[in-house]
């Protein structure tokens, strides 16, 4: 198995090390890089406007990392009067680890759709919510919270930037390597990969096995022409590793 890992750092290198430790070969080609978000200077103000038991949604570990760093630099700490929700176990546990505060997440997946099934999120009339996110995304979460009566604010805590590649060199390198599998962890990354693929070798690319992290991305991939799509249980590296070696996940 020769696996192309497109995750940004540091999760990309961690997954590559885990794959290589099993005897397979993994290669790095991050499609996005992560940087500080444009609204971090507004974070303390957003948090100060929340009342006791209002809701804060932690949309990724990157959002938590940059938000926490911003609060530390401002000499601030996370309020224990707010209710925190993470998109998935890995984000929730990371927040717990660095803050010691309780946080809720859905046990059976790491998507907005699954988080929104939690009973305590069904009726939110009069509640204020703050979404700590990257530059865009999670519109379903915001629109559903609004439909349930919540007031929604965003804070861009981190930004995803496309990594530039020479299209010809990119295709030649991975064709010569003859990769067998590709790990994709967001719709944006799949779109960037699709843009990089040369028209004349699309048939080769589209017969590689694609490991994705949600049914939404899987549908996007199949509509693009990918023939072998496998959905991991979450975006956590352990779940991705399990999907790569699973024989009972439909791919």
pLDDT tens per residue, range 176-210: 999 999 999 999 999 999 999 999 999 999 999 99
DSSP at 119: G
Q: How far apart are CA 37 and CA 27, in angstroms?
A: 28
Q: How far apart are CA 67 and CA 101, in angstroms?
A: 15
Q: How far apart are CA 109 and CA 96, in angstroms?
A: 18
For domain 2-31+165-245, the CATH architecture is: 3-Layer(aba) Sandwich (3.40)
Q: How far apart are CA 30 and CA 185, in angstroms?
A: 11
Query: Which residues, other chains included, contact 242 with Cβ-Cβ below 8 Å and sequence gap of 6+?
Result: 232, 233
The two domains 2-31+165-245 and 35-160 share their CATH topology (first three levels equal):
yes
Q: Are 120 and 136 in contact (CB under 8 A)?
A: no
The residue count for the chain: 251
Query: The pTM is what?
Result: 0.84
What's the distance, CA 32 to chain centroid? Answer: 12
Confidence (pLDDT) at 248 = 55
Composition of the chain by helix, strand, coil, percent to 5: 45, 20, 35
Q: Which two tokens stand for residue 207?
A: 């017969």
DSSP at 9: T
Fold of the 35-160 domain: Rossmann fold (3.40.50)
Q: Per-residue pLDDT tens for 171-185?
A: 999 999 999 999 999
Q: How far apart are CA 192 and CA 36, in angstroms?
A: 21
Mean pLDDT of the 36-63 span: 95
Domain ranges of the chain: 2-31+165-245, 35-160
């Amino acid at each position: 198995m020769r696996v192309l890992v497109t995750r940004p750092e540091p999760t990309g290198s961690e997954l590559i090390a885990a794959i290589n430790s099993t005897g397979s070969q993994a290669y790095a080609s991050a499609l996005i890089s992560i940087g500080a978000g444009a609204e971090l200077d507004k974070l303390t103000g957003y948090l100060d406007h929340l009342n006791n038991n209002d809701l804060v949604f932690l949309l990724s570990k990157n959002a938590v990392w940059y938000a926490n760093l911003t609060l530390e630099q401002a000499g601030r700490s996370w309020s224990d009067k707010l209710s925190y929700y993470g998109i998935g176990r890995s984000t929730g546990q990371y927040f717990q680890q660095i803050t010691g505060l309780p946080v809720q997440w859905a046990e059976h997946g790491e998507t907005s759709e699954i988080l929104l099934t939690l009973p305590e999120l069904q009726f939110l009339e009069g509640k204020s919510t703050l979404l700590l996110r990257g530059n865009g995304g999670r519109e379903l979460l915001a629109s559903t919270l609004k439909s349930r009566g919540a007031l929604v604010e965003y804070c861009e805590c981190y930004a995803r930037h496309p990594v530039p590649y020479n299209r010809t060199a990119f295709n030649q390198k991975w064709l010569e390597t003859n990769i067998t599998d590709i790990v994709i962890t967001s719709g944006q990354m799949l779109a960037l990969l699709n843009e990089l693929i040369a028209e004349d070798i699309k048939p080769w690319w589209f017969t590689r096995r694609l490991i994705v992290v949600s049914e939404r991305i899987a549908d996007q991939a199949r509509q693009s022409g990918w023939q072998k799509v496998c959905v991991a249980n979450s975006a956590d590296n352990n779940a991705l590793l399990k999907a790569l070696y699973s024989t009972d996940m439909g791919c």
